[in-house]
Amino acid sequence: MSAQQIATTLGNAKKVGNGYLASCPVPHHGQGNGDKNPSLSVTDGEDGNVLFKCHGGCDQHEVFNTIKDMGLLPELPPRPEYLSNVRPIMPAIPVLEHEWVYTDENEMPLFVKQRYKTFDAKGKTYKTLRILADGSRVGKLGDCRIVPYRLPELLQAVTNGKVVYIAEGEKAVDALCSLGVTATTSHAGAGGWNQDLNQYFSGANVVVVPDNDVAGWSYATKIVESLLPMVKTIRVLDLGLDKPKEDAYEFVYHYGGTKETLAAKAKGAKVLGHEDIVLIPKRLRDLPPEEINHSKPDRNALVEVNEPQRKKLLVESWDSIKDEPVEWLVESIIPKRSFVALYAPPASYKSFISLDLAEAIATGRDWMGYKIPKKGAVLYICGEGHGGLGARVKA
């Protein structure tokens, strides 16, 4: 309907300018006495819709809904759901899922290991924080004392001659402990076995429980090699899990493993001596290449590798990597083959500093007391225009 038709239907219609005045139909208009003097503007809009405005102060929504309820407005087609196919964007920031606190013998916190959920192909990442005496946390362990997970329980078990299980990761350890046994791990997981941990296993009866993959058994090999000289006995326990990468957590919560079944498996495992080596189960050695490649990095796996593969890939232990001396462009300030950024508030002489630094590198002179081992060519790019550059160069 047009503005004229609606105004006429409402009553007391009067042509005013480009529109009409009519009686406002809101029931409580005029304190419920009705709109005796027309105060509702009704106008045809440029988009074909009718516009309303009550000059008596009625709420616009009430005016519109009242006119609509009178059947004077056409039924509008349903609005398209423009966002129906839109999915929420997953947060880019990792989300903290769990943390494990490492303590000393007296249960005083030393450091904490945190697990974060990430939204990339890997799906997770870890962070280790040192816990200071005041309870605050810092991002570097520094000279923090490195201890095994659940140290007080470990020491008690060694003293009492009980078996100590070593798994890969805190989650697997907690699962084993839920059965009523003593278990521990290192905060580095399969990344390595810190030699500082050996002292806590002197005279212990140890059972290593590897993850069900090549990297897990490589980790077990490192532990056996490190602890063999000081433990009373040491075994490597194959849980016989079905899927690659499964561990003690699945053994407990997915396979229904119990303390009795764990003990029986441990008792059936061979006590290793100095002449023994840790052999990876055949089922893992026979995995398709794609499944082995998707597991954790293999560092010391006892798996046969043919000569062409050995030439293509060099696998090194993390501990064997040597640091290389730094070559300096500006001694102690800018390394060669590096990217550096100079940032500061506006008008804090960044341009002067960068120009002075560029000139020093080009001429080979010392820069603010720092040696420049070898001068070289400098390309200075004025990314924001060259205005004022001449004055800075002269200065």
pLDDT band for position 351 (cuts 50, 70, 90): confident
Task: For residue 116, list its beta bridge partners.
Answer: 96, 125
In contact, 335 and 328? CB cutoff 8 Å? yes
Token output for 235: 């075994």
In contact, 208 and 224? CB cutoff 8 Å? yes
In contact, 239 and 251? CB cutoff 8 Å? yes
Q: What is the pLDDT of residues 258-315, one digit of tens each?
A: 999 999 999 999 999 988 888 888 888 766 655 544 444 443 333 333 333 344 566 6
pLDDT band for position 365 (cuts 50, 70, 90): very high
Residues 141-159 have a mean pLDDT of 95
Secondary structure (DSSP) of 315-343: ---GGGPPP-PPPEEETTTEETT------
Range in 17-31, 139-153, 266-280 with the lowest mean pLDDT: 17-31
> How much is the mean pLDDT over the chain?
85
Pairing of strands 137-138, 163-167: unpaired
Picking from 62, 10, 69, 58, the residue whose alpha carbon sits closest to that of residue 31 is: 58
Dihedrals phi, psi of 235, to nearest 5 degrees: -130, 160
For position 219, what pLDDT does the model report? 92
For position 56, what pLDDT does the model report? 81
Residue 347, pLDDT above cutoff 60:
yes
CA distances from 243 to 282, 296, 355 (A): 14, 14, 61
- As a whole number of angstroms, the distance between CA 157 and CA 204 comes to 8
Residues 187-194 have a mean pLDDT of 84
CA distances from 158 to 116, 208, 224, 289 (A): 33, 15, 17, 40
* Domain 151-293: top CATH class: alpha beta
Residues 107-123 have a mean pLDDT of 91
Instruction: Report domain extents, the chain.
Output: 3-69, 95-138, 151-293, 328-394
